[in-house]
């Protein structure tokens, strides 16, 4: 759990939070299950909970709406979105396509040391996946898997790609948590093997295929 999320919905601290802090707090509360799918988000309650004014809360909710995590009816309600299977499939496809695009840009120019670092990140994530393999995916697993799989994307020199991926991955993470999906150890091991071959060959298309298959298998586990 991040610094910004308080499980009992108490006050978050003694200083006013910036808009980014409020966004992270609400994002993590959704991904942690503190705010559940279908739950109404009332400005007055959020103001008391987070200890900030209405403006940064509305800005954060607008960003979450743009990412597909919350939905609203003007002057009626704002609530955490309940994503269906089709939304989850679409999100997985978009995230896989963005990872492919990043890998095609980065992999051909990656030096041996960087390949070793990315590969080590994949391997170091296995214990986290193994511990959680029998349970719905947690925020911890989402973060570890996201960092490992995103080892190439983080090296892409295209800012707009990183921005698009951050929003798409948030939408996907919300879908995976809401549908109670899990990362099976066999699916992760298959991904690491395929991704390792793609890294060795400097093959961005193969990396994209590996990410796409992993995401499809994880998304299918929630049905």
CB 106 within 8 A of CB 215: no
In terms of DSSP H, where are the helices of 154-184? 159-178
Give the mean model confidence (pLDDT) for residues 12-39.
81
The CA-based angle 203-146-148, given to 5 degrees, is 55
What is the predicted pLDDT for the residue at 7? 35
Question: 195 and 173: one domain?
Answer: yes
Question: 133 and 195: one domain?
Answer: yes
Residue 160 lies in a domain: yes
Range of the domain at 122: 85-220
pLDDT tens-place string over residues 27-66: 999 998 899 999 999 999 999 999 999 999 999 999 999 9
Any idea what the CATH number is for the domain that residue 45 is in? Answer: 1.10.10.10
Question: 91 and 63: one domain?
Answer: no
Question: 93 and 55: one domain?
Answer: no
CB 217 within 8 A of CB 112: no
Question: 193 and 108: one domain?
Answer: yes
Question: 47 and 142: one domain?
Answer: no
What is the predicted pLDDT for the residue at 72? 87
Q: What percent of the chain has pLDDT over 70?
A: 91
Question: 42 and 112: one domain?
Answer: no
Question: 70 and 176: one domain?
Answer: no
What is the predicted pLDDT for the residue at 29? 93
Q: Which residue has the higher pLDDT, 68 or 19?
A: 68
Task: Choose one of 47, 80, 113: the last residue of a domain.
Answer: 80
* Residue located via tokens 């992760």: 188
Q: How many domains does the chain have?
A: 2
What is the predicted pLDDT for the residue at 205? 96
Residue 13 has pLDDT above 80, yes or no: no
Question: 124 and 207: one domain?
Answer: yes
Question: 65 and 52: one domain?
Answer: yes
What is the predicted pLDDT for the residue at 223? 62
Give the mean model confidence (pLDDT) for residues 4-28.
62
pLDDT tens-place string over residues 185-209: 999 999 999 999 999 999 999 999 9
CA distance 63 to 45: 19
pLDDT tens-place string over residues 113-172: 999 999 999 999 999 999 887 678 888 888 888 888 888 888 888 787 888 888 999 999
Residue 115 lies in a domain: yes
What is the predicted pLDDT for the residue at 90? 93
């Amino acid at each position: 759990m991040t610094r910004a999320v308080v499980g009992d919905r108490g006050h978050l601290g003694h200083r006013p939070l910036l808009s980014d802090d409020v966004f992270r707090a609400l994002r993590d509360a959704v991904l942690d299950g503190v705010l559940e799918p279908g739950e109404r988000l009332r400005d007055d309650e959020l103001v008391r909970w987070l200890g900030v004014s209405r403006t940064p809360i509305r800005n954060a909710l607008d960003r979450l709406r743009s990412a597909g995590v919350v939905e609203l009816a003007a002057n009626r309600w704002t609530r955490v979105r309940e994503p269906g299977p089709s939304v989850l499939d679409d999100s997985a496809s978009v995230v896989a396509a963005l990872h492919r695009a990043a890998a095609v840009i980065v992999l051909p120019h990656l030096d041996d040391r960087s390949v070793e670092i990315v590969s080590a990140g994949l391997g170091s994530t296995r214990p986290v996946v193994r511990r959680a393999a029998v349970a719905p995916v947690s925020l911890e697993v989402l973060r570890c898997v996201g960092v490992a799989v995103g080892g190439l994307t983080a090296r892409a020199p295209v800012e707009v790609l990183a921005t698009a991926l951050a929003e798409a991955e948030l939408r996907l993470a919300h879908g995976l948590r809401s549908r109670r999906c899990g990362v099976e150890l066999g699916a992760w091991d298959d991904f690491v093997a395929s991704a390792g071959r793609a890294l060795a060959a400097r093959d961005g298309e193969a990396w994209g295929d590996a990410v796409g298959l992993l995401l499809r298998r994880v998304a299918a586990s929630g049905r």
